[in-house]
Amino acid sequence: MIAGGMGAVRPQLALKSEFKITPGSAIIVLGGQCMLIGLGGGAASSIASGEGSADLDFASVQRGNPEMQRRAQQVIDACNAYGSNSPIQCIHDVGAGGLSNALPELVHDNGLGAKFELRDILSLEPGMSPMEIWCNESQERYVLGVAQSNLELFKSICERERAPYAVVGVATSEQRLVLTDKLLKTKPIDLDMSLLFGKPPKMSRVDKSKQLLLQPVSFGTDVTASDALSRVLQLPAVGSKSFLITIGDRTVTGLIDRDQFVGPWQVPVADVGVTATSLGDELISTGEALAMGEKPTIALISPSDSAKIWSTW
């Protein structure tokens, strides 16, 4: 089964190629508080259901929180509405490895280091160890950089949307990762970024296109016009895609102008689905075109290659 949505990302929001976080900027964790989630490791995810303990199950299963995700997204949308004046300099999602992965990556991608305070990280469960706070995989969290001059604006947006946030550190020009613990009066981490990330070789690829030498089409004497028409209509390129597209919902967001269904009986034979760029302006005639298919034209030459490339924008 394939399920997906249609949408677009503006070019200026699609790339992180430029260094945007400046030294001295506040490093913030936005979203859900720390929980004992994702700490069971591969051993927990590989065992059969019921074999582990309840504590291990709770520590291993990632639990979603749609309401927390909505609040965090409202904050991001509000900041994005400022355009080039957005208080967010750079943003990174929190996934596997929790903050131990996301926070160092955020500053490293901007050519910086950072100093973090472990106890400034919001925690929902009491008694968590430094490792659990630093490495848990609680969902609906983002890490981001905000200039000190925009910090109060960002805080006011979070408070308005009731989205939890915490200023957990500051970016430094020295490429060094420092994590302090004011409760235990220790420094759990103090190392160079180069030691943490290393210098892996960059992958390079070279592609060469070969010109296909195809034989001229010849119907011969055994194929009639009716036979040729029947064969053409059996091709997925011109026939029904009911084997591929069975459900279409054009109501979500209100920007779906047309999916790949046509007519009052919603026959899946359209070549393309169309979305609009924005709502309410009849003068705007821009949008996106999306087609879902199995590359039938490639299948005429190589069925195996068609199976590898079966959706196109």
Q: What is the mean pLDDT of the chain?
A: 77
Residue with tokens 């009911």: 242
Confidence category of residue 1, pLDDT binned at 50, 70, 90: very low
Q: What angle do CA 48, 66, 90 make, to 5 degrees?
A: 105
| Cβ(273)–Cβ(5) below 8 Å | no
| Residue-level length of the chain | 313
- Lookup: tokens for 202: 């960059």
Q: Does residue 156 surpass a pLDDT of 90?
A: yes
Neighbours of 98 (CB within 10 A): 22
As given in the structure block, the two tokens for residue 1 are 């089964």
With tokens 């965090």, the residue in question is 72
Among 3.40.50.620, 3.20.20.70, 3.90.650.10, 3.40.1400.10, what is the CATH number of 19-197? 3.90.650.10
- Per-residue three-class SS string for 245-284: CCCCCCCHHHCEEECCCECCCCECCCCCEEEECCCCCCCC
Give the pLDDT of residue 29. 92
Segment 211-217 shows an average pLDDT of 79
Mean pLDDT, residues 186-191 taken together: 86
Identify the pLDDT of residue 312.
40
Phi, psi (rounded to 5 degrees) for 54: -65, -40
Tell me the DSSP string of 18-42: S--PPTTPEEEEEEPPB-S-S-SHH
Burial class (CB in 10 A: 0-12, 13-18, 19+), 163: buried
Give this prediction's pTM: 0.64
Quick one: what percent of the chain has pLDDT higher than 70? 75
Look at residues 289, 295, 223, 302 and name the one whose alpha carbon lies nearest to residue 259: 289
- Give me the residue spans of the domains in the chain: 19-197, 236-312
Q: Are 233 and 248 in contact (CB under 8 A)?
A: no
Taking the C-alpha atoms of residue 116 and residue 145, their distance in angstroms, rounded to an integer, is: 13
Is there a contact between 95 and 3 (Cβ–Cβ < 8 Å)? no
Least confident of 75-84, 186-195, 246-255, 283-292: 246-255
Helices (H), the chain: 41-46, 54-60, 66-80, 99-108, 130-135, 151-161, 193-197, 225-233, 296-299, 303-308
What's residue 50's pLDDT?
Answer: 54
Binned at pLDDT 50, 70 and 90, residue 35 comes out as: confident
